[in-house]
Amino acid sequence: MTSPFALLSLIIALPFLGMLFVLTAKDEENTGKNALNVCIFTVLANITLIWRVFMLIDDKKTTLQLFEYLKWLPRPQIDITLAVDVFSLLLILAVHLAILIGLVGVKNNTVKQKSQMVFTLLFLSMITGFFVAEDIFSFYIFFEAMLLPLFMLLGISGGIKRQELIYRFFLYNFFGALILFAATMTLYHYYGTMTLQQLQNLKIKDEIEFYVWGAIFISFLSRIPIWPFHYWISSINSGIRNPLVFIICSVMPLTGIYAFIRFLPSVSSLPVELYSTWVSIIGIITMLFISLIGFINKDSQYKIFSYITVCYILYLIGVYTLDELILLNIGYSAFSFIIIFAALEILSDYIYRKEDQYGSGTLGALCKVKRLSFAYSYLTIAAVGMPLSAVFINNFLILSKLLETNLRMGMLLIGTLFMVGITLLQELHRLKTENSSCRMKKEDDISLALFAFMLAIMFILFMSFIRPLWFVLDA
Amino acid sequence: MGLLCFYIWNNPLSKQISQDLIPWLPYEGFKANLNLSSSAELWSLMFILTGMATFVLGFNFMLHTEKRYSPFSSIVFMNLAFAILLYNSQDFLQLMAGSFGMTLLSFYGIENAQIRTKSLYYGFFTEMCLFSALAIVFSRLDNINLSSLQGFSQKGYHRDLIAILVLLTVFGKAGLILFQNKLLDMKKLPFSRIMNICFLGNIIGSVILFVKLQPLWQASKLSEIIIPAMLGLSLFWGFFGALIIDNIKAKALYLNLMLYSLVFMLLYHNGGHWDERVFYLFPLGMLLNFLLAIPVIFASNEVYVSEMGGFAKYMKRNYLLTIFACLCWMVFLNQIRPQGEENYIYIYEGLVLTALAHILYRIYWGKENSGAYVIALLTNMSTPIWAILMLGLGFGLWQCGAETPLLIYGLYGLWLVLSCLGIFRFLEPLDEMEIIQDTDFFKGLYHYVIVAPISLLGRILWLSIDFLIIERSVIGGISEMTTLAIRGLQRIQNTTWLNYLFMLLVGLAIILLGIGNCHD
């Protein structure tokens, strides 16, 4: 089925057009309200388009749909193909919602708002392109292109004090992208231009298979905070003092996981099995490691980071099973997970801004602010896997399949999920512990508008628990 | 509430059996339905639960223990809805959703933020155990229907592990020994909340889980050791707590712990199948809680027994009601007749009566310890409420009285005398011992056995591997190498023509060698 009105191109182009519009937006000095409004409007418009795409596809099918073809270069012959399936569309929607939440989180930010909005929209365009790319070239281009706005956002608005961390982070990701370039070129050299579906069914020549898969694994893993390189990403994430940038940065590992889904062959080969076994082992070590450090770390940002990392690695290990049901459930679970961590991050940021304002600790910060307390509790409880979002059922399915493969591995995974859940609950407990020195008052509660927005987010999460694709109306 | 209304609307009071299945998840190989059917057994349970819920709400309404009526009332009703959801579950998903839902309700049912989040730790732990157990079972059986568990003991995958996980879920949810802190934390809540959580909340969930997951725990021989051991320990722990702890709310909670022990013991001896007698035990437990709530409410919220004594003089009506209710309790308990070798019912009854005798002596007869201010504010409950309660209990006694052997009345008389004599007076000095009254041994145990080692391990990993090895050695090394490489390149680029010539020659040599290799 081909896409009507080039809808897929449109959902890539719309944030890009929005970016151009933001560039021309007039703003009073340093307020950036216009830029923010344009950005929010663009994201909302694109969400509507994505919803429309959902209505056009067959949500019962797990295969790619709505193909768009574009002949790009005749020599060397490079054709662009775009397509989506339920999984990729869910991720696109989740990223849009997460960025929308992030935008709400920075609405009072007055410093370099315009440039922040420009790069946010550019990032959104690139990541959407990445999720709909169906040939190796466009896939590579978007894979690499999203680094630029990310780097700019980190540098301009991230609030990271140690600038060398940003260079390190960029170099690390850039190195990964270069390796993917080498793998893509090798594949092109031997087999010419191809779609990702063709690549999945391709039997790569024995003499290069080991190297090509090695390069692909390294490049995709460079996006995921896996041991021992988690330290690079964790030092960046825990240093970010801007919720929008944190959310965008935390979405990056998703690209690594999605890339594995699109590249892994439908019939596993020896190198792939070998690499995925090793990555699974390292992944479990990372999960244990991060969950333990998250437990002892006092920084709430690190706690959220440890939660995010553990969930991503769980999805990654799930991806290696190559089970269609698991893949679909990873999509459903990731949809809620992304929204949860984005919403948690902006509330956490709100609390820490108040702390800065009063110069007091955050112990007991939620005691007198009912709206904030309710929203924070709901999100934490949903994050740990209680039946308030799609994370609940879908993680059950993913873990059952992993337990089927290896009981010990599965139990370790459950153990890390438990640890990271306790880490989040520990933070909730700390924020709710009565403390006389806490200076947050009733008046410091979130505004009614923000609370209404949070209620809408909670509604989306709860509906995703009842039925993952509840927003897709049956024809 | 919606669920409850739907249920009541759909199943009129005729105890009719109906099948109401609402399609939920449509995945191939993972179809789940929301089952809201009814059965006679469920009606019995709902009858008891609704009665208890009405009592809690009435208690709250008449004695004004709760400031915010509506949220509390909705939580009480939501408990019933989740009990239906859990009871009716035919697949793992509905079972987990019901169980998790009850944990959430207990979270929102506790108004004290600190206790609330602490209870969530326990709740989360128990739910993760349930989650793990069912995930393992699903991974082996490839079926989410609870009916598929019937064959589990034959197939028997990881029996011991699954049985331990299930028992941790059930006992952790109920708050039996090892998890009793969860229960005892409630002493900071008003009695209406205590009764809601202890008789309408998680305990009902844990009983239903115990029965529903019976094939899982019964498949392991370990459960034959674990269950009696935990129940026995809970019973005696509860008894000693009720006897020596000063806080009257804590005493009530210890009595509840003893009741839970009896409930699970009955179910265990019935092979994990439903035992209707269990339903009737909960109102009896609630009655005891109510009896202990009376002196607190009518003595200006004084909760320490050591600060009471001699209240019978000032609260005659309350005392009369209390001792009459104790008689009713004995008669009602006698209705739950032991079957076969169920002698533990007598043990339970004996221990509860002993503890009660001591508690009532200290409140109503013992030495007057309260200040003049408290004494001045002691009141009796209003006559209409008192009359309604006496009539209600009297009606119950009349209904059961005919079947009650005279021995019970004789025992009651003996107990009444004991409760006035105070033979456990020698325990009173224990009120002053902080190590008994306030020290939380299990908290310390968990801290030193679980939390401290995990924290230490985390800190070691963080400092040694993250900081020293990765940051200092690996990243530091790469950083140094990059700096060296950059310096080397800078030296080459130092504008001397000899360096450029040298580099040109090296480049040429590489190209020539490369071409040569290509021709080969």
For chain B, say whether A51 makes contact (Cβ under 8 Å).
no
Residues in Cβ contact with A156 at an 8 Å cutoff, skipping those fewer than 6 apart: A112, A115, A116, A119
Window A:390-449, CB contacts with B under 8 Å: 392-393, 396-397, 399-404, 407, 410-411, 414, 417-419, 421-422, 425, 428-429, 432-434
Does the beta-carbon distance from B100 to A386 stay under 8 Å? yes
How far, in Å, CA of A313 to CA of A459, rounded? 27
Angle (nearest 5°) at CA A190 between A186 and A196: 75
Q: Is the dihedral of CA B215, B219, B220, B225 positive or negative?
A: positive
Which secondary structure element, helix H or strand E, spans residue A79, and what is its range?
Answer: strand A78-84
Q: Is the bond leading into A228 cis (omega within 30 degrees of zero)? A: yes
Beta bridge partners of A81: A69
One pLDDT digit (tens) per residue for chain A, 475 residues: 666 668 899 999 999 999 998 888 776 655 678 889 899 999 999 999 999 999 888 888 878 888 888 888 887 778 889 999 999 999 999 999 999 999 999 888 777 888 899 999 999 999 999 999 998 889 999 999 999 999 899 888 888 777 777 877 777 788 888 899 999 989 888 888 788 888 888 888 888 888 999 999 999 998 888 876 777 778 788 888 889 999 999 999 999 999 999 988 877 788 888 999 999 999 998 898 888 888 888 888 888 889 999 999 999 999 988 888 888 888 999 999 999 999 999 999 998 888 777 776 777 788 888 899 999 999 999 998 888 888 888 888 888 888 888 888 889 999 999 999 989 988 888 888 777 677 778 888 899 999 999 999 999 999 988 888 888 876 4
Q: What residue spans define the domains of chain B?
A: 2-434, 450-519
Amino acid at B37: S
Amino acid at B368: E
In degrees, to the nearest 5, what angle opens at C-alpha B432 toward C-alphas B426 and B437? 100
d(CA B480, nearest CA chain A) in Å: 13
Which chain B residues have a beta carbon less than 8 Å from that of A377?
A: 107
Say how far apart CA A473 and CA A293 lie, in whole Å.
43
ipTM: 0.85
Residues 6+ apart with CB under 8 A from A219: A176, A177, A178, A179, A180, A183, A259
φ, ψ of residue B171 in degrees (nearest 5) = -75, -35
Which stretch of DSSP H or E encloses residue A454?
A: helix A448-466
Of A387, A397, A404, which is closest to B100 when you measure between CB atoms? A387
Question: What is chain A's percent helix, strand, coil content, to nearest 5?
Answer: 70, 5, 25
Spell out which residues of chain B touch residue A162, defining contact as CB-CB under 8 Å.
none
Burial of B44 by CB count in 10 Å (0-12 exposed, 13-18 middle, 19+ buried)? middle
Contact between residue A119 and residue A61 where contact means Cβ atoms under 8 Å apart? no
| pTM recorded for the entire structure | 0.86
**B474–A contact, CB cutoff 8 A:** yes
Set of chain B residues whose Cβ sits within 8 Å of the Cβ of A417? 128
CA nearest to A431, candidates A382, A350, A361, A358: A361
Which candidate, B223, B410, B273, places its Cα nearest to that of B331? Answer: B410
Could you count the other beta carbons within 10 Å of the beta carbon of residue B328?
Answer: 22
CB contact under 8 A, B139 and A401: yes
Closest residue, chain B, to A374 (C-alpha): B108
- Inter-residue contact A378 to A370 (CB < 8 Å): no
> At CA B342, angle to CA B338 and CA B344, rounded to 5?
110
Give contacts of B28 with chain A, Cβ < 8 Å.
325
Contact residues, B window 24-53, toward A, CB-based 8 Å cutoff: 24-25, 27-30
Q: How far apart are CA A462 and CA B6, in angstroms?
A: 20
CA-nearest residue to A434 within chain B is B114
Give the distance from residue A433's alpha carbon to the nearest chain B alpha carbon, in angstroms. Answer: 5
- Write the residue in A292, A418, A434 that is nearest to B114 by C-beta: A434
Tell whether B118 is within 8 A of chain A (Cβ): yes
Phi, psi angle pair for B187, to nearest 5°: -60, -15
